[in-house]
Amino acid sequence: MTLKTILKNKAAGFISVPPSMTISGVVNVLGEKRIGAVLVVDEAELVGILSERDIVRSLAKEGAHTLELTAAQLMTAHPTTASPEISVPEAMQIMTNGRFRHLPIVADGQLIGLVSIGDVVAARITQQEHEVDSLRAYVVGAV
């Protein structure tokens, strides 16, 4: 199974904010959409990613001043991206090694989606359930 398969099973699109949006505005978007991260996009180009963790870490260090910062000031610039053709286990490895929970998907230089660790784990579980069912059918048929 590939990330392309996961994207087909998700609602189309992704949530993005401009680099100039304040963290206060980003927090509102995260809360309204019930998501853990937003992509920071400038003129259709991915320039960064900003997660709840980034905001919480800044709040711990900078306090309420964090809410006045912009997405550009707090985002992770040039985030790791993946092709829609990579496998689910490969995506899990990338996310585990990088210690992040959201992976932007880019095809032919265009941002096409975002997968979360939850999406990847759910796909892996589904894949393993199918494998177990296939093995059961094989064993029952072979007896």
| Rounded Cα–Cα distance for residues 13 and 114 (Å) | 8
Which domains can be identified in the chain, with CATH numbers?
3-142 (3.10.580.10)
Closest to 10 (Cα-Cα) out of 45, 42, 35: 35
As a whole number, mean pLDDT of residues 2-26 equals: 93
Question: Tokens 């959409």 label which residue?
Answer: 33
CA 9 to centroid of chain Cα atoms: 15
User: 40-85, pLDDT tens digit by residue?
Assistant: 999 989 999 999 999 999 999 999 999 999 999 999 999 999 999 9
Q: What is the pLDDT of residue 91?
A: 95
User: Residue 143 pLDDT > 60, yes or no?
Assistant: no
Share of the chain above pLDDT 70, in %: 99
* pTM (predicted TM-score): 0.85
> How many degrees, rounded to 5, is the angle at CA 1 between CA 15 and CA 138?
145
| Rounded Cα–Cα distance for residues 143 and 140 (Å) | 6
| Rounded Cα–Cα distance for residues 49 and 39 (Å) | 5
Where helices occur in the chain by DSSP H, the ranges are: 3-9, 23-33, 52-62, 71-74, 88-98, 117-142
